[in-house]
């Protein structure tokens, strides 16, 4: 979602560089049209979906800040919070590999336990060697 946000902001900022005053007026119109679409979808209470937040946060960069309170139906602090959250997702490294020992597959665990039960005289080094010979990458200390 954060890459979509970044692309949307870049695409919307290009006309802003070329025609600043005209673009801010057009952005205001787009904001109001989008808010109308959101309000038509929901009768009792306005609930912004992530796509709505992305769109409004991206359009906020085209409108001067002193006009935000008059144009947007949310407070400027809310817009800035949405922007911070979208940008923070760019720096979220939770999907990357975590430090420490990698997980051992359940099949390898079962194989180690079976080898240990079938061969009580073997130590962990011998079981590790047999597993390495079979092509399983596992540390001797894990066995």
Residue-wise pLDDT for 102-131, tens only, equals 788 888 889 889 988 998 888 888 888 888
Show the tokens assigned to 46. Answer: 């306005």
Number of Cβ atoms within 10 Å of the Cβ of 49 = 11
> CB of 62 within 8 A of CB of 16?
yes
Decide if pLDDT at 18 tops 70: no
pTM over 0.85: no
- pLDDT per residue over 44-85, tens digit each? 777 888 888 888 888 888 888 888 777 777 888 888 888 888
Nearest to 116 by CA among 135, 130, 137: 130
pLDDT, position 102: 73
**How far is it, in rounded angstroms, from Cα 52 to Cα 45?**
15
d(CA 143, CA 29): 66
């Amino acid at each position: 979602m954060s890459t979509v946000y970044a692309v949307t902001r870049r695409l919307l900022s290009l006309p802003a560089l070329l025609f600043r005053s005209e673009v801010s007026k057009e952005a205001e119109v787009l904001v109001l049209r989008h808010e109308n679409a959101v309000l038509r979808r929901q009768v009792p209470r306005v609930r912004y979906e992530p796509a709505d937040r992305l769109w409004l946060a991206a359009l906020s960069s085209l409108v001067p800040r002193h006009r935000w309170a008059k144009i947007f139906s949310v407070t400027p602090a809310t817009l800035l919070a949405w922007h911070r959250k979208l940008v923070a997702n760019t720096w979220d490294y939770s999907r990357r590999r975590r430090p420490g020992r990698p997980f051992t597959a359940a099949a390898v665990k079962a194989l180690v336990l079976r080898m240990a039960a079938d061969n009580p005289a073997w130590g962990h080094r011998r079981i590790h060697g047999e597993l390495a010979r079979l092509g399983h990458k596992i540390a001797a200390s894990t066995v």
